[in-house]
């Protein structure tokens, strides 16, 4: 996040006091939530629906008087749980969206570069698929800028456990990608 953005742990009471802060929170977290949900295997449309539902849940919680301390972690947790529920009901897989999204990222400078980039993305996709679910989820949340404590809140894990999982996942990826 940029230094001008919202703090990582935005208190709900501050958010509830101002509709503008709610809009700022949406602007700040919409794209990271979408990227995370697509990385989990949801289509772009499904991810949009889940993000909207998460913010609607936030609004409902605030109007009901709930006040969790960390809006960012709370939204990621709600979105994470909704994605898992959709995956269970639709039998989604992690691999297909990751590969198709990654292959679209090539810049098309030369055919040789395209082939090399596609091969790197294929290798990275295979390495990511080889991670356990918890390793993949922790790594994806870390890539979205969440701190270990926030990842722990989202996934219901101790901060020290998250640190170990992320470290193990990075080592596995480095080994599989020959870095």
Instruction: Name, in order, each residue with C-beta under 8 angstroms of 23's C-beta and a sequence gap of 6 or more.
Output: none
Q: What is the pLDDT of residues 115-149, one digit of tens each?
A: 878 888 888 888 888 899 899 999 889 988 899 99
Instruction: Name, in order, each residue with C-beta under 8 angstroms of 25's C-beta and a sequence gap of 6 or more.
Output: 6, 10, 15, 71
The domain locations on the chain are 8-92
Mean pLDDT of 29-53: 88
Q: What is the pLDDT of residues 80-121, one digit of tens each?
A: 999 888 877 755 444 444 444 444 544 456 788 778 788 888
Lowest-confidence pick of 1-10, 31-40, 55-64 = 1-10
Residue 76 has pLDDT above 60, yes or no: yes
Q: Write down the pLDDT at residue 161.
A: 94
CATH topology assigned to domain 8-92: Rna Polymerase Sigma Factor; Chain: A (1.10.1740)
In this prediction the pTM is: 0.58
Mean pLDDT of 161-178: 89
């Amino acid at each position: 996040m940029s230094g001008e953005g919202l703090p990582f742990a935005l208190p709900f009471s501050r958010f509830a006091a101002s509709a503008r802060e709610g809009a700022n929170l949406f602007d700040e977290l919409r794209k990271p939530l979408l990227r995370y949900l697509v990385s989990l295997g949801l289509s772009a449309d499904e991810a949009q629906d889940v993000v909207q539902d998460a913010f609607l849940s936030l609004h409902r919680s605030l109007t009901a008087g709930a006040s969790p301390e960390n809006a960012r972690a709370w939204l990621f947790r709600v979105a994470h749980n909704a994605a898992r529920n959709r995956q269970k009901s639709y039998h989604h897989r992690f691999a297909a969206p990751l590969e198709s999204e990654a292959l679209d990222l090539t810049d098309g400078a030369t055919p040789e570069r395209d082939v090399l980039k596609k091969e790197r993305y294929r290798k990275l996709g295979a390495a990511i698929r080889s991670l356990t679910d918890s390793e993949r989820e922790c790594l994806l949340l870390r890539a979205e800028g969440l701190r270990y404590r926030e990842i722990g809140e989202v996934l219901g894990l101790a901060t020290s456990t998250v640190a170990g999982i992320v470290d193990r996942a990075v080592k596995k990826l480095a080994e599989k990608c020959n870095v």
